[in-house]
Amino acid sequence: MHEMSLAENVLQIIEDAAREQGFMRVKTVWLEIGQLACVEKESLRFCFDAVTHGSIAEQAHLEIIETAGQGQCEKCARNFPLSALYEVCPECGGAQIKITGGNEMRVKELEVE
């Protein structure tokens, strides 16, 4: 379950930001997660609650914002929305698709005290 390591990385980002900015508690964490990032959101929520126990982010609310997948056909150069990793181009049927968006995860915002 890679969601546990993702949750640990999010906590590390939060702790680093707390040291740099001097806040003492995190109330809400907004994560942007791409539709193609292969992250199980409910597992991530569970893992986030587990790793933040006893930390600056204990009981923080986790808001997940899903971003759409995007791809570009390497054959005809068409850009189009992707809902799965292995789709073909709707224009030419090409199977060599470069993912151009929706495969990332980032901490977008923190609500802190």
**In 62-100, which positions are buried (b, 16+ CB within 10 angstroms) versus exposed (e)?**
bebeebebbbbbeeeeeeeebeeeeeebeeeeeeebeee
Q: What are phi and psi of 84, to 5 degrees?
A: -150, 160
- Its domain, for residue 46, covers 3-112
Neighbour order of strands in the sheet with 79-82: 79-82, 69-73, 97-101
Do residues 29 and 107 lie in contact, with contact meaning Cβ atoms separated by under 8 Å? yes
At 85, is the pLDDT very low, low, confident or very high (cuts 50, 70, 90)? Answer: confident
- Measure the CA–CA gap between 44 and 62, rounded to whole angstroms: 9
- CATH number for the domain that contains residue 69: 3.30.2320.80
Domain total in the chain? 1
pLDDT at 79: 97
* 113 closest CA partner among 77, 59, 75: 59
Is residue 12 classed as helix, strand or coil in its secondary structure? helix
* pLDDT tens digits, 46-80: 999 999 999 999 999 999 999 999 999 999 999 99
* pLDDT tens digits, 14-51: 999 999 999 999 999 999 999 999 999 999 999 999 99
- Measure the CA–CA gap between 77 and 85, rounded to whole angstroms: 17
